[in-house]
Amino acid sequence: MSLMACIPDPDRIRRKIFQIDHLAAVPDVAWRLLDALGDDRTTPGQLERIIESDPGLAGKVLSLANSAYYGLRSKVTTVGRAILMIGARELQMLALGAGLADVFDWRRTPPGWDGPMLWGHSLAVAYMARELADEAGHPQPAEVMTSGLLHDLGKLVLATSLVDEIPPLIARLAEGIPYFKAEEELGLVHTTMGRWLAKRWELPDPHLAVIEHHHDPERAQAHSASVALVCLADRMAKDLGVGPAHEARPLDMDRVTAMAGLGPGRLRRVVERTAERVPVLLASWGYPGGGGRP
């Protein structure tokens, strides 16, 4: 079969993307928890009541609190104690994960494509982006974290809603063609597909910029610091082996680091303090910590 015969119709792809449900499909408990965590007046008791209203989320909170990372001698058996152990940032990550995990159904991922690993990568990038944003003094670190979670929205769409388009892409990768070249040849550029869905969902402009430009921050005409931070987080996660090892275009990482408002030393500090923490967070969600190319 010729390459032209494998290239999908872009109009058909766009129509399928526009049919994906809006983020309103995110469970109410996730929104409630995120809102509560963003309010300085929220008490631990209020957080406990929100989390306990969703058994699945409560189980993940207890699992994280009982992970080896905290080194506790006795088991954490209540959500209230778990909240005190974990802290707001991890709870934010769990809420975000609970949200989009319900929008994208990994059971539909075709053979040869590791959907759960891709989702684990998105979680890792979100966490690292928040850490980098804090280090850089970004005015909206939580916003950068959400952008990090959404940065590969186009790949998430491909893995769950465009599964018929994946076999030709897998075949090109098996031939040794870099991912960024294969997706261009097949008209499946994930930054473009992610931008389509982000616009369909009317996501804020910072998220649009990150989704579209996280592989080339210098092309971002606005929100360039946020784009650069997520770009760095994406590379950091891949260096840790978290997520599919899709080859991206070469970048001047020193330039990207400067755009993010960081220097090599500050970047290294974030890498060191997240290297052990990220696998623990992923394990609480049941995702493996290693990487692998689909």
The model's pLDDT over 122-170, given as tens digits with 9 standing for 90+, comes to 888 988 999 999 999 999 887 888 889 889 989 888 887 787 888 888 8
- 77 against 89, higher pLDDT: 77
pLDDT at site 53: 84
pTM: 0.76
Nearest to 155 by CA among 99, 204, 117, 128: 117
Report the alpha-carbon distance of residue 35 to residue 16 in Å, rounded. 31
CA 172 to centroid of chain Cα atoms: 25
CA count, 13 A, side-chain hemisphere, 135: 26
Domains of the chain: 18-103 (no CATH), 107-294 (1.10.3210.10)
Number of neighbours of residue 98 by Cβ within 10 angstroms: 21
Nearest to 172 by CA among 10, 11, 6: 6
DSSP notation for 220-244: -SS-HHHHHHHHHHHHHHHHTT-B-
The model's pLDDT over 81-117, given as tens digits with 9 standing for 90+, comes to 888 888 776 777 676 666 666 666 666 677 777 777 7
**Which residues, including other chains, have CB under 8 Å from residue 272's CB and lie 6 or more apart?**
none
**Which residues, including other chains, have CB under 8 Å from residue 259's CB and lie 6 or more apart?**
217, 218, 224, 225, 227, 228
- State whether residue 215 is helix, strand or coil: coil
Angle at 148 between CA 99 and CA 197, to 5 degrees: 65
pLDDT at site 71: 67
- 126 against 6, higher pLDDT: 126
Report the alpha-carbon distance of residue 7 to residue 13 in Å, rounded. 11
Cα torsion 114, 183, 238, 59: sign: negative
- Residue 244 reports pLDDT greater than 50: yes
- Residue 22 reports pLDDT greater than 60: no
pLDDT at site 292: 35
Q: Does residue 93 contact residue 123 with C-beta atoms inside 8 Å?
A: yes
* Average pLDDT for the chain: 80
Per-residue pLDDT band for 208 (boundaries 50, 70, 90) equals very high
Burial (CB count <10 Å: 0-12, 13-18, 19+), residue 206: buried
- State whether residue 79 is helix, strand or coil: helix
pLDDT at site 291: 37
- Residue 179 reports pLDDT greater than 60: yes
Report the alpha-carbon distance of residue 133 to residue 136 in Å, rounded. 5
> Encoding tokens for residue 289?
């910590």
CA 48 to centroid of chain Cα atoms: 25
Per-residue pLDDT band for 245 (boundaries 50, 70, 90) equals low
